[in-house]
Amino acid sequence: MLVRLAHETDLAGFRREARALLARRVPPDRVSWSAGPCNDDLFADEAAPEAEVPESGVTVPTGFLELCHTVALHSEPQRFALLYRLLWRLVHEPALRHDPLDADMMQARQMAQAVQRDMHKMHAFVRFRQVPDGAATDPLHVAWFEPDHHIVEANAPWFRRRFANMRWAILTPRAASNGTGASCTSAPARVARMRRRPMPARRCGSRTTRASSTRRG
Amino acid sequence: VDLQAKLAILADAAKYDASCASSGGVRRDSTQGRGLGSNEGTGICHSYAPDGRCISLLKILLTNYCRYDCLYCVNRASSNVPRARFGIDEVVRLTLDFYRRNCIEGLFLSSGIIRSPDYTMEQVVEVARRLREEHDFRGYIHLKTIPDAAPELLQRAGRYADRLSINIELPTEQGLAQLAPEKDVAAIRRSMARLRVHIDDAKEEAAQAQARPVVSLPQARPARARPASFAAAGQSTQMIVGADATDDATILSTSAQLYGAYRLKRVYYSAFSPIPDASAALPLKAPPLVREHRLYQADWLMRFYGFAADEIASPHAGGMLRLEVDPKLAWALAHPERFPVDLNRAPRELLLRVPGLGVKAVDRLLLARRVRRLRSDDLQRLHVPLRKVLPFVVLPDHRPARSSEPLRLAASPRVAQQAALF
């Protein structure tokens, strides 16, 4: 059975679908998950027409929900399958919640770690450069960053908190976040425009290295 | 001299200050303010100094002119380095500019002593004040304080800074008297004690404010001024290793005493590096950098693993840490009677003494063994160095060969050595 989620990091959709699947007692090896437009499994069946599912009252440890939030940002296509398998096992194997060394659990934790490392890299290596912005009095701060996972939106609030009163935009191959106003909008059109003009990532960094040499590591 | 050249001189002059952490302090951000900056425990990193240190702060001296003549210091009065001095506004502007580009987490500001300790300290505090009050800067600020400065100035510094530090400079009083005659151990320790009192008081006030119930009219928003914080990330110090003949045991006992008496957050060890045109009283050669590394490892053992200073390096055993093995392995090899340890039964204190097991690994093992018996593939999944751990532990499917393995570990240290060119 194929379950389709609205976008790459659609955790709310995953939770809704997973609850429904659990209520219908669909084991994890009979479900395949697809997030985003183009990575469908060729041999999967379409999902059965959705019936209204009563609240199943599944409870999981609070730590698991946090883990889901992070793992959902990973770029691994099987991430939702892993999460559903863990959820299934948490419901059916009560001992799992006390076992920090379980193989599935370890894998999920390692994926979460990779995501967190990537998020940290974004905090650590984004370097803004000032560009004049037409009539505006204060300059726009622009940065280019290439993340490994789907972390841009999750990281935007951190930049908004740090540079609350500054006009900035971070451009990435997949999305852009900007902190000009209170809200963060994805602006794919703008990214495309910036990418057509050559804007090497290196130059953003090298502008900032006069005081002490900065390098990616 | 233009700003660029000054920055080159004064950033280079600050490179001997090892402390560049930016963790701790009060969590804050700029969403409710008019300035910029936040402090949330994570942030930029990886701006490297030429010697390989990773620095996340704009680390500069206000000036490298100095009245003092401390022999180990590159900025001593009799040194012939090029000198420069920043104006207060220049430092403020530089800090904000670097911060806006996300190049720094904050400012580390130190200074050579000009005119008088009080005058210098005033200048340093003024930089922090302008950043905080005029520009509403909410990033991290670390100020190096001058022990001879007036207590009021120290107190003001603490209001603006996240961390304050006073260098103890050398591990022994005799060493300081010999190499830095103008500095005064008593004054240094007095200032550390004062800082500790201020930090403790501020913590106490914050705790009380938290505990007091809010009394308010119905409908009214309970608003109460937060008590002023004082160097919320605590104080630290720095010690130069290898400039005099002090052994590791003395260094570690000095650290233990500093941690205990003044509740320091960190003691930084800085391997003495021969400076250009050094005094004849100093050794010609730098101590091996690995010594600094071993001291940091020993420091961690004291702070997080329950080791006492004299367990790690005792004066009876030569007083030096072994350079070829880490201090924990060295301790384990010296105490074969305490091993092997049964991973399924041993208490936390004993697990922490097993070479190769860190604090996190130990806590995971403790959790896991509540639900089942641990086996050797559990260790594998924990990603601990098996070669190091297995000779010291017993598991249902593993028992170390009697005494031969640890000895082999000790006998064949794989020391990588760079080949000499000449």
Q: Which residues of B319-351 are buried (b: 16+ CB within 10 A; e: fewer)?
A: eebbeebbbbbbbbbeeeeebbbebeebeeebb
- Please answer yes or no on whether A164 and B31 come within 8 Å at the CB atom: yes
Q: Give residue-wise pLDDT tens across range B22-31.
A: 776 677 777 7
Task: Tell me how far apart the alpha carbons of residues B340 and B350 are, in angstroms, rounded to a whole number.
Answer: 10
Mean pLDDT of B110-134: 92
- Please answer yes or no on whether A215 and B46 come within 8 Å at the CB atom: yes
Task: Tell me how far apart the alpha carbons of residues B184 and B319 are, in angstroms, rounded to a whole number.
Answer: 26
- Please answer yes or no on whether B7 and A128 come within 8 Å at the CB atom: no
- Please answer yes or no on whether A212 and B55 come within 8 Å at the CB atom: yes
Q: Give residue-wise pLDDT tens across range A126-178.
A: 888 888 877 767 788 888 888 999 988 888 888 888 888 888 888 888 766 66
HEC per residue, chain B: CCHHHHHHHHHHHHHHCCCCCCCCCCCECCCCCCCCCCECCCCCCCEECCCCCEECEEEEECECCCCCCCCCCCCCCCCCCCCCECCHHHHHHHHHHHHHCCCCCEEEEECCCCCCHHHHHHHHHHHHHHHHHHCCCCCEEEEECCCCCCHHHHHHHHHHCCEEECCCECCCHHHHHHHCCCCCHHHHHHHHHHHHHHHHHHHHHHHHHHHCCCCCCCCCCCCCCCCCCCCCCCEEEEEEECCCCCCHHHHHHHHHHHHHHHCCCEEEEEECCCCCCCCCCCCCCCCCHHHHHHHHHHHHHHHHCCCCHHHHCCHHHCCCCCCCCCHHHHHHHHCHHHCCEECCCCCHHHHCCCCCCCHHHHHHHHHHCCCCCCCHHHHHHHCCCHHHHHHHEEECCECCCCCHHHHHHHHCCCCCCCCCCC
- Please answer yes or no on whether B101 and A129 come within 8 Å at the CB atom: yes
Position A194 scores a pLDDT of: 38
Q: Which residues contact A1 (CB under 8 A, 6 or more apart)?
A: A26, A30, A31, A32, A44, A45, A46, A47, A48
Query: Ramachandran region of residue A18, left (φ > 0), alpha (ψ -120 to 50) or beta?
Result: alpha
Mean pLDDT of B182-191: 88
Q: Which residues of B touch A216 (CB under 8 A)?
A: 46
Which run of H or of E encompasses A168?
strand A168-171
Distance from CA of B369 to the nearest CA of A (A): 8
- Please answer yes or no on whether A213 and B47 come within 8 Å at the CB atom: yes
Alpha-carbon A69 to chain mean position? 8
Give the ipTM of the model, two decimals please: 0.75
- Please answer yes or no on whether A101 and B382 come within 8 Å at the CB atom: yes
- The reported pTM is 0.79
CA dihedral B210, B212, B215, B219 (to 10 degrees): 20
Position A207 scores a pLDDT of: 31
Q: Which residues contact B408 (CB under 8 A, 6 or more apart)?
A: none
Which of the four pLDDT bands, split at 50, 70 and 90, describes residue A67? very high
Position A56 scores a pLDDT of: 60
Distance from CA of B115 to the nearest CA of A (A): 28
Position B178 scores a pLDDT of: 85
Q: Which residues of B touch A94 (CB under 8 A)?
A: none
Residues 145-174 of A with CB under 8 A from B: 158, 160-166
What is the average pLDDT value for chain B, to the nearest integer?
84
Task: Tell me how far apart the alpha carbons of residues B340 and A129 are, in angstroms, rounded to a whole number.
Answer: 57
pLDDT above 90 as % of chain B: 26
What is the average pLDDT value for chain A, to the nearest integer?
74
Q: Give residue-wise pLDDT tens across range B143-164.
A: 999 888 888 999 899 999 989 9
CA angle B321, B242, B356 (to 5 degrees): 30
Top-confidence range, A3-7, A52-56, A154-158: A154-158
Q: Which of B30, B103, B378 sits opposite A165 (nearest CB)?
A: B30
- The label of the residue with tokens 């009219």 reads B217
Q: Which residues contact B182 (CB under 8 A, 6 or more apart)?
A: B67, B68, B69, B70
Which of the four pLDDT bands, split at 50, 70 and 90, describes residue A206? very low
Task: Tell me how far apart the alpha carbons of residues B300 and B277 are, in angstroms, rounded to a whole number.
Answer: 35
Q: Give residue-wise pLDDT tens across range B246-303.
A: 888 999 999 999 999 999 988 998 888 777 667 777 776 777 778 888 999 999 999 9
Which of the four pLDDT bands, split at 50, 70 and 90, describes residue B417? low
B80, pLDDT greater than 90: no
Q: Which of B34, B98, B367 sits opposite A165 (nearest CB)?
A: B34
